[in-house]
Chains A and B, each alone.
Chain A
Amino acid sequence: ETGVTQSPTHLIKTRGQQVTLRCSSQSGHNTVSWYQQALGQGPQFIFQYYREEENGRGNFPPRFSGLQFPNYSSELNVNALELDDSALYLCASSLALVTGTDTQYFGPGTRLTVL
């Protein structure tokens, strides 16, 4: 069984640029969630995708956007990068159930540095 994978592992960008991060979900999972983890902090929920539709969003501006593809992989796009966007971006996959979303399993993350 393949776990959650993310690419790239590290990325350096400058202010104002745009970035795309990618995530492949665990086999059998249909839901992908994205989190931002600033240094020394707990992860903060950005948004979740279920069957290619956004299914909940945290307190992040519209310049954070995403996609989910038919194979349930996902992208996180961030436009007009700011210094405060420097963080570890974590993707988590899960299986949505009738009774709610099951346990989320995390990938290794993408470390984004904005200069």
Chain B
Amino acid sequence: GDSVTQMEGPVTLSEEAFLTINCTYTATGYPSLFWYVQYPGEGLQLLLKATKADDKGSNKGFEATYRKETTSFHLEKGSVQVSDSAVYFCALSDRGAQKLVFGQGTRLTINP
């Protein structure tokens, strides 16, 4: 079945550092790919998405490019802030799919 694998956390960085969180997927079809973010005590917020190969999703300085050849959707940000501290989830959804399949999440802590 479909699956998503994220880099193990937790990840701790200093403010203004460069961030990469790796995400790879396995899917039989042509999925849409998503990054969701979860702040402490809250539900999931959509951060960005891409629906086809080579699409780049971007939001709030975060970017991720849908790489079909490497089945990856790595999340990047050039300069992180303390407010970016949260848990980040990579997810996929097949076209017409009834569900999202999530990775295990990566906890990110940014120190001032």
Residues of A within 8 A of B (CB): 4, 6, 33, 35, 40-45, 48, 55-56, 58, 90, 92, 99-101, 103-109
Contact = CB atoms under 8 A, between A and B. Distances in A.
A104 B92 CA distance: 11
B44 A90 contact: yes
Interface string B14-50: 0000000000000000000010100000111110010
Given A42-B102, A42-B103, A45-B100, A103 B49 contact: yes
Given A33-B99, A92-B44, A101-B96, 14 more contacts: A6-B43, A33-B100, A42-B89, A42-B102, A42-B104, A43-B100, A55-B98, A92-B100, A99-B95, A99-B96, A100-B94, A103-B34, A104-B100, A109-B43
Contact of A41 (B36, B42, B98, B104): B104
A6 B105 CA distance: 23
Contacts of A100: 94-97
Contacts of B105: 40-42
A41 B45 CA distance: 16
B43 A107 contact: yes
Nearest 10 A-B pairs (CB), nearest first? A56-B98, A42-B102, A45-B99, A100-B96, A106-B44, A108-B43, A100-B95, A106-B43, A109-B43, A48-B98
Contacts of A41: 104-105
B3 to A, nearest CB: 11
Contacts of A56: 97-99
Contact of A43 (B44, B95, B98): B44
